[in-house]
């Protein structure tokens, strides 16, 4: 009986031993893979090195762009300050410009300074945030590495080196052609300034942006006499090639990022969640259980407090919104009442204005009618006076005509015998007595020189005049 029972257990024992051996072999294979993965963490492939280098180049370019923008803004502010200082020191410009002109200049300068300050603060905060994120990520990775070492009981786990300590043995020949050409071009011609001083190159960029490449050579030669026109033209040719290569490098980096993002999305789409393996429950000590329980209670209390705070904040927000709504309703009612009063006042003023205009038109019409009647009255008086004068003239003319007609109508008897006859007066004189005639004839005739003059007054008698 016992032998038969042992025979019945043999297949089960064989299956158990086979399964145990299979699990043992799988465990050994996993441990070897894990050791190989950990040992390969200190090395990088060529593709990974290229990615890191491209990312580093892109970061450096972005930082250099930000620095160049800040430098350009500082140069602009410095030029504006120098212009204002020169204008203030010049008496003629002080007299020619008003206070408003200088106020506008200083306001523009203040605005540029505040804007630059805000941009610097924003960039600094951005860098601090990035630094904090990198620090958190680094600490997290260090914690995970330590946990992996404790869980798998590895004899030695080497910490991953930082990006600054990576031994990148790849050369520029392994980079993209655009990035390699740009790097070689910059190294060949003395950096990003083309062998010039940074101040001279910045002034060149300023003149080129403001006046164009055609006038840049002459203007730069005026401001910097040590730089000839040929040097400016050579620098202009270098800058055009530099800009072209830099744009190609940007496009290559952008294309690389897009490809990387597309590969990452495709990898995420193809990712299949692995089967969860049943883990053995580890024994925990009572102290750890107590700490976990305490931590859970603290988390529960914290969540309740956060929930209570959220409820209080929600209640306070509702109360504030209610107060704001009531205040807005009161303000709206006040504005409506004010608009109604304003409209009624404007309507009353409009009616009063129309009434006053109507009254003025009526008074003007009455005054015009009275003046018209007065003019007509005066005109009638003038007409009557003229008629009276004409009537008087006609009457006088008629009387003179009548008198002339009446005198000419008198008929006298004409005596032709009276011709060459003495008149009655002559006959009377001729019939005077002879004594009278003798007296008249005896009177002496006075000569012109003997004709008596006016009598000399007494006060002039005896006076002589010496000429």
Mean pLDDT, residues 117-139: 81
pLDDT above 70 covers a percentage of the chain that reads 78
**Per-residue pLDDT at 384:** 92
User: Do residues 120 and 255 both lie within one domain?
Assistant: no
Could you tell me if residue 232 is inside a domain?
Answer: yes
pTM value?
A: 0.26
Per-residue pLDDT tens digits for 383-427: 999 999 999 888 888 887 766 655 555 566 777 787 888 888 888
Residue 80, domain member (yes or no)? yes
Same domain, 200 and 152: no
Number of alpha carbons in the 13 Å side-chain half-sphere of residue 244: 8
Does 372 have pLDDT greater than 60? yes
Structure tokens of 42? 């200190």
Query: How much is the average pLDDT of 338-364?
Result: 88
Assign 46 a pLDDT band (cuts: 50, 70, 90). low
DSSP string, 296-318: HHHHHHHHHHHHHHHHHHHHHHH
Angle, helices 46-89 vs 229-270, to 10°: value is: 140
Q: Pick from 156, 175, 198: which residue ends a domain?
A: 156
Residue 142 burial (CB count, 10 A):
12
Rounded to an integer, what distance in angstroms lies between the CA atom of residue 301 and that of residue 306? 9
The predicted structure's pLDDT at residue 409:
55
pLDDT of residue 280: 45
What's the CA gap between 195 and 189, in Å, rounded?
A: 6
**Final residue before a domain boundary, out of 363, 398, 433:** 398
Predicted confidence (pLDDT) at residue 79 exceeds the cutoff of 50: yes
Q: What is the pLDDT of residue 272?
A: 47
State whether 195 and 139 are in the same domain: no
Between the ranges 70-74, 93-97, 286-290, where is the mean pLDDT highest?
70-74
Which structural domain, as residue segments, surrounds residue 62?
12-156
Mean pLDDT over 115-133 rounds to 83
Q: Are 249 and 359 within one domain? A: no
Domain count for the chain: 3
H helices of 98-212, where? 99-152, 177-188, 198-211
Average pLDDT, the chain: 76
Within a domain: residue 180? Answer: no
In the prediction, which pLDDT does 410 show? Answer: 55
* Tokens, residue 247: 């744009």
* Alpha helices per DSSP H over 159-228: 177-188, 198-211, 213-223
| C-alpha to C-alpha distance for 197 and 210, rounded to whole angstroms | 20
Rg of the chain in Å (alpha carbons): 66
Residue 269 has pLDDT above 70, yes or no: no
How confident is the model at residue 30, as a pLDDT? 82
Which among 398, 414, 437 is the end of a domain? 398
**Same domain? 126 vs 42:** yes
User: Do 72 and 206 meet the contact criterion of CB atoms below 8 Å apart?
Assistant: yes
CA 195 to chain centre: 39
CA angle 146, 147, 153 (to 5 degrees): 90
**Mean pLDDT, residues 25-35:** 80
373 in any annotated domain: yes
Number of Cβ within 10 Å of residue 108's Cβ equals 13
Whether the Cβ atoms of residue 277 and residue 232 lie closer than 8 Å to each other: no
253 and 330 assigned to the same domain: no
First to last CA, the chain: 208
Residues 110 and 229 both lie in one domain:
no
How many angstroms separate the CA atoms of 54 and 183, rounded?
12
- Let me know if residue 161 belongs to a domain: no
Based on the fold, state whether residues 130 and 50 are members of the same structural domain.
yes
Q: Are residues 24 and 141 in the same domain?
A: yes
Which tokens go with 296? 């859970």
């Amino acid at each position: 009986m016992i032998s038969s029972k042992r025979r019945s257990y043999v297949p089960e024992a064989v299956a158990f031993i086979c399964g145990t051996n299979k699990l043992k072999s799988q465990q050994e294979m996993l441990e070897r893979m894990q050791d190989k993965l950990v040992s390969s963490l200190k090395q990088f492939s060529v593709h990974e090195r290229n990615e890191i280098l491209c990312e580093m180049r892109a970061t450096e370019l972005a930082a250099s762009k930000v620095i160049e923008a800040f430098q350009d803004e500082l140069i602009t502010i410095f030029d504006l300050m120098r212009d204002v200082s020169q204008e203030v020191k010049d008496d003629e410009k002080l007299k020619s410009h008003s206070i408003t002109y200088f106020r506008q200049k200083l306001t523009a300068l203040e605005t540029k300074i505040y804007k630059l300050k805000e941009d610097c603060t924003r960039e600094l905060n951005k860098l601090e945030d990035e630094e904090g994120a990198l620090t958190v990520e680094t600490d997290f990775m260090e914690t995970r590495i330590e946990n992996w070492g404790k869980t798998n009981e590895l004899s030695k786990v080497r910490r991953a080196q930082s990006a600054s300590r990576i031994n990148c043995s790849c050369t520029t020949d392994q980079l993209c052609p655009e990035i390699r050409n740009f790097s070689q071009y910059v190294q060949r011609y003395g950096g990003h300034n083309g062998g010039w001083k940074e101040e001279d190159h910045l002034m060149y960029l300023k003149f080129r942006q403001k006046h164009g490449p055609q006038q840049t050579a002459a203007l730069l030669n005026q401001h910097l006499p040590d730089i000839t026109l040929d040097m400016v033209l050579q620098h202009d040719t270098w800058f055009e090639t530099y800009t072209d290569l830099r744009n190609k490098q940007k496009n290559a980096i952008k294309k690389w990022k897009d490809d990387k993002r597309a590969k990452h999305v495709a990898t995420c789409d193809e990712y299949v969640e692995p089967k969860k393996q049943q883990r053995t429950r580890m024994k925990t000590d009572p102290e750890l259980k107590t700490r976990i329980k305490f931590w859970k209670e603290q988390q529960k209390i914290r969540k309740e407090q956060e929930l209570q705070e959220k409820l209080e904040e929600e209640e306070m927000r509702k109360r504030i919104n209610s107060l704001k709504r009531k205040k807005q309703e009161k303000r709206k009612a006040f504005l409506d009442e004010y608009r109604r009063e304003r409209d009624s006042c404007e309507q009353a003023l409009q009616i009063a204005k129309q009434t006053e205009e109507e009254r003025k038109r009526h008074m003007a019409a009455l005054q015009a009618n009275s003046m018209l009647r007065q003019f007509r009255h005066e005109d009638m008086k003038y007409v009557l006076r003229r008629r009276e004068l004409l009537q008087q003239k006609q009457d006088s003319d008629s009387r003179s005509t009548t008198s002339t007609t009446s005198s000419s109508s008198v008929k006298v008897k004409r005596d032709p015998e009276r011709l060459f006859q003495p008149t009655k007066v002559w006959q009377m004189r001729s019939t005077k007595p002879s004594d009278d005639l003798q007296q008249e004839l005896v009177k002496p005739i006075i000569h012109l020189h003997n004709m008596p003059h006016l009598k000399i007054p007494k006060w002039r008698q005896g006076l002589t005049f010496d000429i």
